[in-house]
């Protein structure tokens, strides 16, 4: 651990080109992809000009004013008025070459200026700030429960491998593998959220409308009341893989020579399991924590957010991609990528917390 600060510094410096490379690749893909905000708007004007005007005018910006001219400038099947088209390109920033747009965007990102949404009357930072508590709530509660369930269960299954306990708990694991989280979410709604049977849990939002007026104990209860079903649905979809990973890791360590030697010396089973096996077996589990957190936070929660009407980062990024809302797309991508890189570093540091014998001084970045 003597060279830990130098290792951390190298990893932090490596994040810069990695982050830049990811942004460049995605920017090039978006540039090559067909369609875009201009094409979308012209299509809307071609179909229902009033609806398109109302939608964009609702954004409150200059673009909305530009669409006000569409009624007189749009010429049906003959195409968009060139002056209006040029004005739209200027409003969206497409009058500049691609490389200039990218450099300007990355320069703004250095000051956390992610721009404004094309279609909403909000900045990207405001949209992310509104969605972040939802995603963090889902991600942290899900991972906390998944780890609290899966690690003890996986250890128990490894210790009692082949026993009736191992067999019947494997049935639960199979169900966890077989049933997607979103299907289980639908089942929970049918059973407990007024779908067909009981109406015990709310079906929308992270808190109730009058949440700010409640006392702190009632605020906590209201929050837990809203988050219970979404988190339960995600836990069911996530515990199976970690349980089997933990079991297999412990089984592999239990049969190694150092465990046989420790038992031959008269060391108790509990001491062998938690004093020797646990530290080594948990390394692979901890190595997967950053990826599991990012996956749960941004991708695994997408359908759950849709089903329970929770406006989190996954739903925000997905809608931005569908709508070609480039500022929101790249803003959320930047945040996702940066957080993922940081969590990978945290995973390495957790290695050392579990096994101090790991030496970063001889490890390559």
Same-domain check for residues 148 and 273: yes
Looking at the structure, tell me whether residues 143 and 277 fall in a common domain: yes
Q: Closest Cα partner for 19 from 350, 349, 334, 362? A: 334
Whole-number Å distance between alpha carbons of 8 and 360? 9
Structure confidence at residue 62 (pLDDT): 40
Verify that 199 and 291 share a domain, yes or no. yes
Say whether pLDDT at 113 is over 70. Answer: yes
Q: Give the count of domains, the chain.
A: 2
Show the CA angle centred on residue 277, arms to residues 271 and 241, nearest 5°: 130
Region at 215 (left for phi over 0; alpha for psi -120 to 50; beta for the rest): beta
Q: Give the pLDDT confidence of 291-316 residue by residue, as tens digits.
A: 677 777 766 677 888 888 888 887 88
How much is the average pLDDT of 151-173?
Answer: 90
Same domain flag for 200 and 238: yes
pLDDT of residue 359 exceeding 60: yes
Alpha helices (runs of H) in 205-288, residue ranges in sequence order: 216-254, 257-264, 269-272, 278-287
- Structural domain boundaries, residue 168: 125-362
Task: Enter the pTM of the model.
Answer: 0.73
**Mean pLDDT, rounded, for 127-139:** 87
CATH of the domain at 237: 1.10.3720.10
Instruction: Please say if the pLDDT value at position 59 is more than 70.
Output: no
Residue 218 belongs to some domain of the structure: yes
Is residue 2, in this structure, part of any structural domain at all? no
Whether residue 77 has pLDDT greater than 50? no
Q: Which helix (H) or strand (E) holds 148?
A: helix 124-159
Q: Which residue has the higher pLDDT, 70 or 351?
A: 351
Is the pLDDT at 360 greater than 70, yes or no? no
The answer to whether residue 248 sits within a structural domain is yes
Residue 128 to residues 15, 138, 196, 226, 248, Cα–Cα distance (Å): 22, 15, 35, 21, 39
Cα–Cα distance, 264 to 236 (Å, whole number):
40
Task: Give residue 64's pLDDT.
Answer: 43
Residue 14 lies in a domain: yes
Whether residue 204 is contained in a domain is answered as yes
Instruction: Tell whether the model's pLDDT for residue 21 goes beyond 90.
Output: yes
Average pLDDT of the residues in 162-171: 91
Are both 135 and 60 inside the same structural domain? no
Q: Residue 73 has what pLDDT?
A: 39
User: Residue 331 belongs to what H/E stretch?
Assistant: helix 326-354
Which of 100, 121, 142 is the endpoint of a domain?
121
**Are 212 and 93 in a shared domain?**
no
98-109 helix and 4-32 helix, angle to the nearest 10 degrees: 140
Q: Is the pLDDT of residue 75 over 60?
A: no
Q: How many residues does the chain have?
A: 365
For range 3-7, the mean pLDDT: 78
Q: 105 with 90, same domain?
A: yes
Q: Assess whether pLDDT exceeds 50 at residue 123.
A: yes
Beta bridge partners of 199: 193
pLDDT tens sequence across 222-260: 999 989 999 998 888 778 888 998 899 888 888 888 888
Please indicate, yes or no, whether residues 183 and 311 belong to a single structural domain of this protein.
yes
Q: What local confidence, expressed as pLDDT, does residue 166 receive?
A: 92
Q: Please check whether residues 133 and 263 belong to one and the same domain.
A: yes
């Amino acid at each position: 651990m003597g060279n830990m600060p130098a290792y951390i510094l190298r990893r932090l410096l490596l994040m810069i080109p990695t982050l830049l490379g990811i942004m460049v690749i995605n920017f090039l893909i978006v540039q090559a992809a067909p369609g875009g905000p201009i094409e979308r708007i012209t299509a809307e004007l071609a179909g229902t000009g009033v609806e398109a005007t109302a939608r964009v005018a609702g954004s409150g910006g200059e673009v909305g004013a530009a669409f006000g001219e569409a009624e007189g400038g749009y010429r049906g099947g003959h195409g968009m008025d060139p002056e209006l088209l040029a004005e739209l390109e200027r409003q969206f920033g497409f009058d500049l070459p691609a490389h200039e747009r990218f450099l300007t965007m990355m320069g703004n990102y250095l000051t956390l200026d992610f721009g404004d949404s094309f279609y909403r009357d909000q900045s990207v930072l405001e949209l992310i700030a509104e969605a972040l508590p939802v995603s963090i709530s889902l991600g942290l509660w899900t991972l906390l429960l998944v780890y609290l369930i899966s690690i003890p269960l996986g250890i128990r299954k490894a210790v009692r491998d082949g026993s009736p306990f191992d067999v019947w708990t494997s049935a639960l694991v199979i169900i966890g593998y077989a049933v997607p989280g979103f299907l289980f979410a639908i089942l929970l709604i049918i059973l407990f959220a007024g779908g067909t049977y009981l109406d015990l849990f709310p079906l929308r939002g992270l808190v109730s409308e009058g949440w700010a007026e409640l006392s702190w104990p009632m605020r906590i209860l209201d929050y837990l009341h809203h988050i219970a079903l979404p988190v339960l649905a995600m836990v069911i979809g996530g515990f199976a893989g970690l349980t089997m990973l933990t079991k297999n890791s412990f089984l592999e360590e239990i049969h190694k020579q150092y465990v046989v030697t420790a038992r031959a010396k008269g060391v108790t089973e509990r001491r062998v399991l938690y004093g020797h096996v646990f530290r080594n077996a948990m390394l692979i589990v901890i190595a997967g924590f950053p990826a599991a957190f990012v996956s749960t936070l941004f991708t695994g929660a997408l359908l759950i957010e849709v089903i329970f009407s929770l406006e989190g980062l996954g739903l925000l990024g997905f809608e931005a991609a569908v709508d070609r809302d480039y500022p929101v797309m790249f803003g959320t991508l930047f945040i996702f990528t940066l957080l993922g890189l940081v969590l990978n570093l945290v995973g390495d540091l957790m290695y050392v917390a579990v096994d101090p014998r790991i030496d970063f001084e001889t490890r390559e970045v």
